[in-house]
Amino acid sequence: GGVGFTQYATAAYTDNILDDFTYYGLNYVKDRYGYDFSVPSPDVTIRPTQDIVNDIAIEVSLYAMEQYEQFPTMMEDHFGGSQRAAVIAAACGLSTSIPTGNSNAGLNAWYLSMIIHKDAWSRLGFFGYDLQDQCGSANSLSMEPDRGAMGELRGPNYPNYAMN
């Protein structure tokens, strides 16, 4: 089991919603920390502290949840909490990993987003499927980050669809 299909299908039909959430996060980072995502460079990345991860993930999660509440048809389009949770978490992960240049910071933002989402809306999935709250880096990554190697953006349970 895993969230493979959720991730596989979400990219195809989220229109520009994931883009909007991500650009909001990147513009927030630009305004707050001065990192210009349109001119990426390893020399100007932001140091990935827990405070930075918390700040970006909280801001992007709250913005995204407010958008879902403001536009009910968007909430209906992303059926079930698992789709919304995945889109919000992906935006948090992107908005954090791009300016920090650190995949583990992005994964931690992803997981924090799931916790914020669950805390705010009481659950992530529908019909009792709350799998996303178990998708933290401690549960969905291989042992590579523990050995100091680069984290995998897809966990071991992610099915290998014909996307490569």
pLDDT tens, N- to C-terminus, the chain (164 residues): 455 555 566 666 666 888 999 999 999 999 999 999 999 888 999 999 999 999 999 999 999 999 998 988 887 777 666 778 888 999 999 999 999 999 889 989 988 898 888 777 766 555 555 555 455 555 545 555 555 555 555 555 454 444 44
Is 99 contained in some domain? yes
Neighbour-count burial of 148, counting CB atoms closer than 10 A to its CB (0-12 exposed, 13-18 middle, 19+ buried): exposed
- State the total domains in the chain: 1
Is 56 contained in some domain? yes
Is 50 contained in some domain? yes
Q: Enter the DSSP assignment of 147.
A: G
Q: Which domain holds residue 50?
A: 45-145
Is 113 contained in some domain? yes
Is 73 contained in some domain? yes
Give the CATH number, domain containing residue 88. 1.20.840.10
Q: What is the pLDDT of residue 1?
A: 41
Is 124 contained in some domain? yes
Record the pTM: 0.74
Is 117 contained in some domain? yes
